[in-house]
Amino acid sequence: QKEVEQNSGPLSVPEGAIASLNCTYSDRVSQSFFWYRQYSGKSPELIMSIYSNGDKEDGRFTAQLNKASQYVSLLIRDSQPSDSATYLCAVRPGTASKLTFGTGTRLQVTL
């Protein structure tokens, strides 16, 4: 079982819709969770972090964490073509300081 799993996609959503990206992780004692966005040919950039169960909102982005289900998700409201990118879920397992990344979900926002 991979430490961090994501559906590779592509996930295709129309402009203006809500995009829902999901991630599961295997280490039950993981404490920190991050979402990165990576445009083609660019490096990943941090867009959200979440540490507690529940929702965390930042503009059009909402991160959701459910530690009991070992599940973290990212919702993008009012999706725009500029949101088309690969979204990487990252988890800090246990007490380690390193981040473990999923392989990413490619999001396509269509006009």
Partner 1 sequence: KAGVTQTPRYLIKTRGQQVTLSCSPISGHRSVSWYQQTPGQGLQFLFEYFSETQRNKGNFPGRFSGRQFSNSRSEMNVSTLELGDSALYLCASSTDGGQGYGYTFGSGTRLTVV
Among 63, 83, 104, 105, which residue sits at the site for partner 1 (rule: CB under 8 A)?
104
Q: 3-state DSSP call for residue 81? A: helix
**Cα of 79 vs its chain's centroid, Å:** 15
Structure tokens at 12: 């295709």
Closer Cβ to partner 1, 103 or 110, answer by number: 103
Q: Which stretch binds partner 1 (CB under 8 A): 13-21, 55-63, 68-76, 89-97?
A: 89-97
Q: 3-state DSSP call for residue 82? A: helix
Does 69 sit near partner 1 (CB under 8 A)? no
Phi and psi torsions of 10, nearest 5°: -75, 145
Does 82 sit near partner 1 (CB under 8 A)? no
Closer Cβ to partner 1, 83 or 106, answer by number: 106
